[in-house]
Structure 1
Amino acid sequence: MTPAHHQARTDGPPHAPELRAAARRLGRRRFLTVTGAAAALAFSVNLPAAGTASAAELDAARLTDDPFTLGVASGDPQPGSVLLWTRLAPVPYQADSGLPAKRIDVSWELALDERFRRVVRRGRATAHPEFHHTVHVEVDHLAPGHVYHYRFRAGRYVSPTGRTRTAPAPHSRASELTFGVVSCQRYDQGHYTAYRHLAQEDVDVVLHLGDYLYEYAVNSSAGSRAYPEGTLPDLFDRETVTLEDYRLRYALYKSDPDLRAAHAAHPFVVTWDDHETENNYAGQTPENSVPPEEFLIRRAAAYRAYWENMPLRRPQLPDGADLRLYRRLHWGRLAQFDVLDTRQYRSNQAYGDGWQFPGPESEDPGRTMTGDAQERWLINGWHRSDALWNVVPQQVTFSQRFNSTSTPSKVSMDSWDGYPASRERMLAGAQAAGVENLMVLTGDVHVHYGFDIKRDFDDPGSRTLGTEIVTTSVTSGRDGSAKPANWETLMAANPHLRFYSGLRGYTTVSLGRELARADFKTVSHVTTEGAPLTTAASFVTEVGEQGLKPA
């Protein structure tokens, strides 16, 4: 797959000192525009051009080590199409992955059975060095609503087998859909035990809501994983800033066998939050006082590495420091998924971020969480939707969340509470579109929450427009506890909060034609391996009568 709209170039990215000098000459406002172009230039270089040989070719028969160390994945199921992914990396903890800067021919197969006796499609793809030898294959003209098995081959090496599926036919009356929801998997804070369990679940798809990786340094012991001294090279013991840094960090995360097992078992639908780039960044604004030109170069590196390492399709290929990640998927007429990006287009956090009292700055009606274009796209999509369930996978807590029973209470400026006008426009849009069964899916906060979404959060008796399912982290925050220290306060301060747990794990949601069921699943510990899986609580919400009720 070589995108036609990129041209191969030989010039390299501009250096930060030159950009700062440009900033002084041009002035800040004009400079931001120029910087966007500079970042686009920097990260459009060395992309393979359509119809041309991007680099010399390496005969795959010359590979002497297994290149499929990072496994396989699939994503974004469509009615007649699947997206297959892999990355060649014989030496994953090395910047060049143990491969020369040459393109490598990779073959793939798609079958109805895991022994590949009934192969329905096969083909060849090129692993380009410009994309760090990642492969994205879009297989079209498939039957809707089918399970398929797939694998790759390079030389004499065969990848692990993956299992994927197509979505039901458009406008078909699918009767059920079950999906997993995961988020926040900081590598050095625990083992991916939750993924080991998720790989065994009978789900149709997994939704990853962000913080797939963390930018923070990982020392040679990998923190809570307590590796023997010197197990990890020092190159991980630094914050990710450059394209090489981000690529290596994905290699570290994907080296985990439980994460690879979950990817092989289920197709994923992914969206990012902040840590795939930098903690709590907002649009073009970094967390710290870094010059904007430097941050946009960093963002471009992070976005490119994200696309390379995620099972994403061609429309998500980044363009410099931008990547359109918001997109819409359908599961027949049962569900419409409007996958949001609440990082790239948001206004900067009010009052310096953190937990603050709301006020004129946070309540400014011009502030946005999604940006104007994405907001219009979402609401217009609701007006056209014929789905029974309208599901919104996104990143940060949507429902009102007070941290005190006092009035006023502080709220998180990084969540939708810090952007109340944006949330009001979204709720008004859902109501105007006649959306009756709204479900918002959230990650970020390292806890399980179950919220009723109220039309007016300040009036507990107002209409319930939908539900918000907040999934806990896979590892971030280490072991956690079933009842965090603020459990009683949050439950008392937020009458629309129906469930709260601080253990690690994931959530499964089953959508039906009469109701939806959410199972909040937890493991007792992640700082050591082997924790069993427990269903901490189960709730249902009924079609036409939204609100979480114990199952």
Structure 2
Amino acid sequence: MTPTAALAVHSAELRAAARHIARRRLLTGTAAAAALAFAFGLPGTASAADLDPRRIGEDPFTLGIASGDPRPGSVLLWTRLAPRPYEPDSGLPFRRLDVRWEVAHDPGFTRIARRGSAIAHPELHHSLRVEVTGLGHDRTYYYRFRAGPWISATGRTRTAPAPGARVGRLRLAAVSCQAYHEGYFTPYRHLADDELNAVFHLGDYLYEHPVNATGGARRLRGSPLPAHFNRETLTLEDYRLRYGLYRSDPDLRAAHAAHPFVLTWDDHETENNYADDSPGYPQPPEEFLLRRAAAYRAYWENQPLRIAQRPHGPDMRLYRRLRFGRLAQFDILDTRQYRSHQAYGAGWHPPGPRSDDPARTITGAAQERWLLDGWRNSRVRWHVLPQQVVFARRRRSPVQPYTVSMDAWDGYPASRQRVLAGAEAAGVDNLLVLSGDVHVAYALDLQRDWDDPGSPTVGTEIVTTSISSGGDGGDRPANWAALTTANPHLRYYNGRRGYVVVTLDEQRARADFRTVTAVTAPGSPITTAASFVTEARSPGLRPV
């Protein structure tokens, strides 16, 4: 048996062991055990009585509402009922709740497009999702939920254009990395007021690190945060509580209510720097897979993801494809769940035989085939790749020995080369990669041969900075000179917090880097720090 085959067998055995351990833990017959059964993707749900919504004495919509994954004539709606989001049971008994929903053509709900009801199951922590169909193509709608006397905030969403439709323009935002304890989510307040078709969240929606009583850099006043936030997330309850903390932020709620989100994760939604079944820190793999199952379950419960993304134990298919008429195809990747383990650890290291091994992958073989097959069968103007970590080569200094990040695509150069070769073979001449992770903003040209300064440019990468991770930041980080000198294809580098707005039309793609001056205090204004364009069928960034 080859080493690769042996690793595959070992991984399958560990997943089976994780499910087996989960089953054994469910034999107590308690309500908590029943919830765990659902969390680990086991058959069946617990039998729970109905709760009369009229008996809910506090606002259950404290975590807001959201929509996601817009499709032609369809959108996914989400909410979670949590009168007391900082408590493990969220202030609700272990009972089912009937929730009404409405979708309208207008914010006053005088012209109803669709309405119905859905059950908020206690096994899903009273979260619910509604896949609304039968809507118009490329249309704005308004939606809300009702539970007894309580009515949620009004959300605004938008469906995707019809397949094959000519689309004049798409305007989207890319965001990532929102550590609650490192600052306020001020960029989201500005993003909520922007005119966008969708928001692409590229990972690190939450962080597993402890949050102290004053919220870290937020320095909250008044009632302290409960002590159970001041520990690392390990269990299903921990992750659920952490989403309750994050989603209690008013700026994040405003952004979700204003635009449909398309989400993928990175590492911190589970554990820093994990790779496939290998944790970022020493831990038995079978225990880590139990943790991963809990993290994946809580992620799905708390995000506007469709039923197709529902996890099964420690596995969850998050990669998927969205099309916006004939203008753009979005292939949303998961570069965390299937990757080979980092070759020399997750830090910076010179490339070597282990990282250069052609068998290494950051996507896994199945996802890579799915991506390349999707390109071969696509005839759109722009092929956009929303994913997690920096795709382009990024040397840390201009002098040898060159080091690169083993946790990014630089640690998997053969995988990157297969993707670029597949794009070229499929005739993809307008490739745009959207990335996050690094808490800074980059604009990068993608080269066919990184060692040849005259090599053709084959695509563009736009890296969005963080929402709050890393604190306030600055326009020129300490390594600005070294990084820009070492990487001549790096056209822009900024260390402020914010997001990027990308506008696509038939002729060009434009990236506007939006930044705030501070996140350690609320209310900072926002500015456009820089703008770049790349022309269709003529890749290469230039400033505007």
TM surpasses 0.5: yes
| Distance apart, 1:542 and its partner CA | 0.3
Counterpart check, 1:503 vs 2:496: yes
Cα RMSD after superposing both structures: 1.7
Report if the CA contact (8 A) 1:74-1:85 is conserved: yes
| 1:533 aligned partner | 526
Seen in structure 2, the aligned counterparts of structure 1 residues 529 and 432 have a Cα distance that, compared at 3 Å, is: same
Structure 1 partner of 2:131: 138
Match of 1:175 among 168, 190, 198: 168
CA distance in 2: counterparts of 1:238 and 1:53, whole angstroms: 29
Moved more, 488-497 or 453-462: 453-462
User: Could you tell me how far 1:36 is from its partner in structure 2?
Assistant: 4.4
Deviation of residue 394 (structure 1)? 0.2
8 Å contact 1:44–1:319 — kept in the other structure? Answer: no
1:377-396 paired onto structure 2 within 5 Å? 377-396=370-389
Q: Structure 1: how far apart are the matches of 2:46 and 2:225?
A: 36
Please name the residue that 1:11 is paired with. Answer: none
Q: In structure 1, what is the equivalent of residue 446 of structure 2? A: 453
Pair 1:274-2:267 in alignment? yes
Matched letter for residue 254 of structure 1: R
Is 1:96 paired with 2:89? Answer: yes
Note if contact 1:80-1:166 (Cα within 8 Å) is conserved in structure 2. Answer: yes
In the alignment, is the contact (CA less than 8 A) between 1:345 and 1:370 conserved in 2? yes
Conservation of the 8 A alpha-carbon contact between 2:498 and 2:515: yes
Structure 2, unmatched stretches of 5+, are 1-8, 27-34
Q: Do 2:64 and 2:153's aligned partners in 1 also have CA atoms closer than 8 Å?
A: yes
Does the 8 A contact of 1:40 with 1:319 survive in 2?
Answer: no
Deviation per residue, 1:132-190 (Å, 9 max, x gap): 00010000111111100000000000000000011000011111100011000000100
- Equivalent residue letter for 2:142: H
Task: Map residues 398-477 of structure 1 onto 2, 5 A cutoff.
Answer: 398-477=391-470
Q: Confirm or deny: 8 A CA contact 2:15 2:286 kept in the other structure.
A: no
Give the aligned length: 525
Matched, 1:543 2:536: yes
Residue 305 of structure 1: aligned partner: 298
Q: Does 1:126 align with 2:108?
A: no
Specify the alignment match of 2:343 in structure 1.
Answer: 350
SS in 2 for 1:260: helix
Report deviation, 1:352: 2.0
Distance (whole Å) between structure 2 residues aligned to residue 532 and residue 52 of structure 1: 47
Matching of residue 287 in structure 1 with residue 260 in structure 2: no
Superposition pairs for residues 483-498 of structure 1, below 5 Å? 483-498=476-491
SS in 2 for 1:352: coil
Q: Shift of the alpha carbon at 1:325?
A: 0.1
Question: Scaled by the length of structure 2, what TM-score is found?
Answer: 0.94
Could you tell me which amino acid in structure 2 is paired with residue 242 of structure 1? T
Write the distance in 2 (CA, Å) between the matches of 1:227 and 1:51.
42
Instruction: Give the structure 1 partner of residue 69 of structure 2.
Output: 76
* Structure 1 position 288, deviation (Å): 1.2
- Helix, strand or coil: the match of 2:270? coil
Match of 2:60 in 1: 67
Deviation at 1:52, TM superposition (A): 8.6
**Against the structure 1 CA distance between its residues 39 and 443, is the aligned structure 2 distance closer, same or farther, given a 3 Å change threshold?**
farther
Taking a change above 3 Å as real, the CA distance of residues 243 and 357 of structure 1, as seen in their structure-2 partners, is: same
Superposed displacement of residue 34, structure 1 = 3.0
Amino acid at match of 2:456: R
Aligned counterparts, 1:4-153, within 5 A = 31-38=13-20, 41=23, 45-46=37-38, 54-153=47-146
The alpha carbon displacement at 1:407 in A equals: 2.9
Maintained 8 Å contact 1:54/1:103: no
Separation in 2, partners of 1:116, 1:49:
39
Separation in structure 2 between the aligned mates of residue 65 and residue 187 of structure 1, nearest angstrom: 25
Question: Is the contact between residue 220 and residue 229 of structure 1 (CA under 8 Å) also seen in structure 2?
Answer: no
The question of whether the paired residues in 1 share the 8 Å contact of 2:37 and 2:43 is answered with no
The percent of aligned pairs where both chains have the same amino acid is 62
Alpha-carbon separation, structure 2, partners of 1:256 and 1:53:
31
The answer (yes or no) to whether the contact 2:432–2:461 under 8 Å persists in 1 is yes
Matching residue's letter, 2:410: D
CA-to-aligned-CA distance 1:507-539 (integer Å, 9 cap, x gap) = 000000000100011101110112110111000
CA gap of 1:135–1:414, structure 2 versus 1, over 3 A, is: same
Q: Does 1:324 align with 2:306?
A: no
For residue 68 of structure 1, report the CA deviation from its aligned partner: 0.3
1:357 Cα deviation after fit = 0.6
Distance 1:412 1:216 in 2: 22
Contact 1:44 1:320 in 2 (8 A): no
The CA distance in 2 between the partners of 1:49 and 1:471, in whole Å, is 37
CA distance in 1, matches of 2:138, 2:432: 23
User: Is the 8 Å Cα contact of residues 54 and 128 (structure 1) preserved in structure 2?
Assistant: no
Q: Which amino acid aligns with 2:406?
A: M
Matched-pair contact (CA < 8 Å) for 2:37–2:45: no
1:38 Cα offset (Å): 2.4
Letter in 2 for 1:402: R
CA displacement at 1:387 relative to structure 2: 0.9
Assess if the C-alpha contact under 8 Å between 2:11 and 2:277 holds in 1.
Answer: no
SS at match of 2:275: coil
Partners of 2:470 and 2:392 lie apart in 1 by 22
Q: Secondary structure at the match of 2:166?
A: coil
State which of 140, 149, 155 in structure 2 corresponds to 1:156: 149
Equivalent in the alignment of 2:206: 213
Moved more, 288-297 or 220-229: 220-229
- Could you tell me how far apart the structure 1 residues matched to 2:347 and 2:362 are? 16
SS in 2 for 1:76: strand
Say which SS state the counterpart of residue 174 (structure 1) adopts: coil
In the TM superposition, residue 458 of structure 1 has moved relative to its aligned partner by 1.3
Shift of 1:347: 0.5
Report Cα offsets for 1:183-241 as digits up to 9, x if no partner: 00000100111000000001110000000000000000101100136520101001000
Structure 1, unaligned stretches of length 5 or more? 1-26
SS at match of 2:164: coil
Matched, 1:516 2:498: no
Residue equivalent to 1:184: 177
Query: Per the alignment, do residues 33 and 237 of structure 1 end up closer, same or farther by CA in structure 2, a change over 3 Å counting?
Result: closer
Please give the TM-score of this superposition, normalised by the length of structure 1: 0.93
- Paired residues of 1:325 and 1:340 also in contact (CA < 8 A): yes
2:236 pairs with 1:243: yes
For the structure 1 residues 128 and 519, does the alpha-carbon distance in structure 2 shift closer, same or farther, using more than 3 Å as the test?
A: same
The structure-2 alpha-carbon separation of the partners of 1:29 and 1:97, relative to structure 1 and needing over 3 Å to count, comes to closer
